[in-house]
Amino acid sequence: MEIFIGSDHRGVALKQEIIKSLEEDGFKVYDTKLTNNEMDDYPDFAFEVGENVIKNKNALGILICGNGIGISIAANKVKGIRCARVLTEDDAFKSKNHNGANVIAIGAEMTLRKAMEIINVFISTKSTSEERHLKRIHKIIKYEEGQYNEL
């Protein structure tokens, strides 16, 4: 499985630790090509990770910024991305299994241990096969493609 990861300047230290941990577990991890500095902007990293996840079928994305909110909003502007800001393992499970998330966002202040617990749940969670969840995900996709007319 390919995992794309990116962070603004606030998340660089955590990102580097996550990359090391994931690579030790045998995952192929790709960091963004953008350079981090104190003037960088989280949308740039969100867009790059999002575009790479869309281009690489079955890939997942991990994003990090100060609190995970801004970068998740930006990632959700990439067509086909469903990014959830997650704080717990339950958030990670439900974001993927119930909502079809292909990217998660976390805050830079999270410990490596907590981040890896969340990330491992996200990676290992199967996509949903339950009709009620699939129906909702398909509505989101239809709306994104301008084909939703159920309002």
Instruction: Give the catalytic positions in this structure.
Output: 65, 98
Rounded Cα gap, residues 3 and 95, in angstroms: 17
> Are 101 and 83 in contact, with CB atoms under 8 Å apart?
yes
Q: How far apart are CA 20 and CA 47, in angstroms?
A: 23
Q: Which two tokens stand for residue 50?
A: 């999002």
The maximal CA–CA distance of the chain, rounded, in angstroms, is 48
Dist. CA 141–CA 80, nearest whole Å: 7
